[in-house]
Amino acid sequence: MVNRLLKLVILIFMIVGIWYGISITIKREVPKYDRKEAELKILNTMQTKSAEAINVYTYGKSLNVDGKISNVNKDNFESLKLYITDGLNYEENYNLDYSFENNDLLFSSKIINSGLVIDDLENGEYYIFARLKVNNSVEPKYYSFVNSSDAENIEYYTVTKESKNRKANIAFCEKDYNGKKYNLLTMKIEDATLPENIYDIVIDAGHGGRDSGEILGSVTEANVMLEYAYSLKNELETLGYKVKLTRDESNSSSFTTTNMYNSDGRISIACKTKAKLMISFHINNDANKELTGFEIYSPPKSDLNFATEMANQINQLSTITFSNNNSFKQTEGVYVRNFTKAIIKEYANTANKKGYEPYNITTDTPYLYTIREVGGVATGAYVDGRNTQYSKNEYYKSNQGIETYQLELGYIKNDIEIITNEKDKIVQAISKAINEKY
C-alpha cells in the first residue's frame, strides 16, 4: 500500500514537472515566433528605398517625425501618413503636414503634442513608417526611416500612473532580408522604474533672486509665483505625479535676468528632468491700464485642447476673468505668441551691431523663451551661445521636448487681489486640467 502511494506521489510530481516545463517553453518560445513572424510581415511590405528622418523627437507625450521622401510624383500623389504597427494585431495612422520641393516630398508632424501618444500604447515592440498613397493604387506604399539627423536614440518614460511607469526605447536599426539591407525605426515599450533624475512635471516660478519681476508696493511677482509653484507641486504630488521646481528657497537667490541657460539656470534645470509638461507662472505688467484677466500662452503647431480646458477650469473655479487682451489671442484665455517680422528685423539689427550671426528665427518661432527653449527641436530652440549676453542652452537641439505653457495669471494692478486671495482655487483648477490630460 505504501509503495503504491509512493509511486502515485512520484507520478504526480513527474506530471506536474513535465507540464511546468512545457509551460515555460511555450512562454519563452511563442513571443520569439510571433516577433519573427511580425518582422517578416513588416519586411515584406516595405519599399526597398527608405524615407529620410530629418528629426525624430518627443514633445510632451507624443512622438513626432519630420522627414523627406525623394522622387515622388506630385501629380500622382494622394496622401501621406505616419504609420505604426506591431506587425501583428495593432496598427494606426496619423496625419502629417507635407509639401513638395521639386520631386521631394517633405513632411512633418501636423500637431506636435497630439497624434502618436506613447503613453496610450501597450507594452510591446512597434515599427514606425511613412505610409504613402498614390492615385489609382489599391495598396499604399510603406517607407521605413533612415536616420538623417545627428540626434541620439530616445529613452522615454511614461507619466506616473498608480505609482507605475513604463519605458519606451525609440531607436533606428538595420535588418538583412533576402540579400538586402532595410532600415527600421522601432519602439519597444516595457515596465520600468522611473530613474531618480526623471520627472513627470516641472513647475517654473517666474523670475526670482535679483529679478523680482513685476512689483506693486511690497508685493513682487517672484514671491507670489513661488507660492503658486509650491502649492501646485503639493497638489500634483497628492495625485501621484513626480514634480520638480525650477527654483525654490534653495536656489532663488542666484537667479538673474540673463542666467536662465547656465547649468544651474531654470531652463537647464527643467530640461534635465525629461518631464512631459511644464507650467511656468507669471504676472503681466500694466502698460495698458485697461487690461485685465489671465492668459495662457501655448506652443505653436499644437493642439490647444489642453490649454482651453485649463483656461475654462480657471474661469469656472475662480473669479479671475479671461483676459481682454486681443493680441495673439486664439480663443478665450488661450494665446500663441510667435516672433513677428518687425521683431525678427530688430533681432537681426542687434546681432549685426554686436557682431554675431543672426539667429534663424521665423514667424513660426515661439517668442517666449520658456516655451521655445524647453521644447528643443520641436519648438525651434536656438540659444547656442553666439549672443554672449546669454550662456548656451545645452538642450537647444534636444529631441525630447517638454510641452510648456506660460500662465500669465493676471495684471498686477488690476488683478493682484484675486491672484493672491484665490490661489487655492486657481491651483485646484490647473491641477484638475492636468490630471484629466496627463
307 HSE (CA, 13 A, CB side): 31
What is the pLDDT at residue 42? 76
**Where is pLDDT greater, at 42 or 273?**
273
CATH code for the part of the protein at 46-192? 2.60.40
33 has pLDDT over 50: no
Q: How far apart are CA 200 and CA 403, in angstroms?
A: 11
Determine the Cα–Cα distance for residues 377 and 436; give it in Å rounded to an integer.
27
Instruction: Return the bridge partners of 66, or none.
Output: 55
Least confident of 39-43, 61-65, 240-244: 39-43
* pLDDT value, residue 13: 53
Q: pTM for the complete prediction?
A: 0.89
Lowest mean pLDDT among 38-47, 134-143, 319-328, 410-419: 38-47
What is the percent of the chain where pLDDT is above 70?
91
- Please tell me the predicted confidence (pLDDT) of residue 252: 75
Residue 123 has pLDDT above 50, yes or no: yes
What DSSP string runs through 310-375? HHHHHHHHSSPPBP---TTEEETTEE--B--HHHHHHHHHHHHHHTSPPP---TTSBSSHHHHHHS
Coil, strand, or helix at residue 239? Answer: coil
Boundaries of every domain in the chain: 46-192, 201-437
- Polymer length in residues for the chain: 438
Q: Domain 201-437 is in which class?
A: alpha beta
Distance CA 275, CA 262 (A): 19
Largest CA distance in the chain: 105
Looking at per-residue pLDDT, the higher value among 140 and 180 belongs to: 140
If you compute the radius of gyration of the chain from its CA atoms, what whole number of angstroms results?
Answer: 26
Average pLDDT score over residue span 296-305: 96
Under the banding of pLDDT at 50, 70 and 90, the label for residue 3 is low
C-alpha cell at 318: 475662480
For the segment 405-428, the average pLDDT, to the nearest whole number, is 97
Q: What is the pLDDT of residues 275-295, one digit of tens each?
A: 999 999 999 997 777 999 999
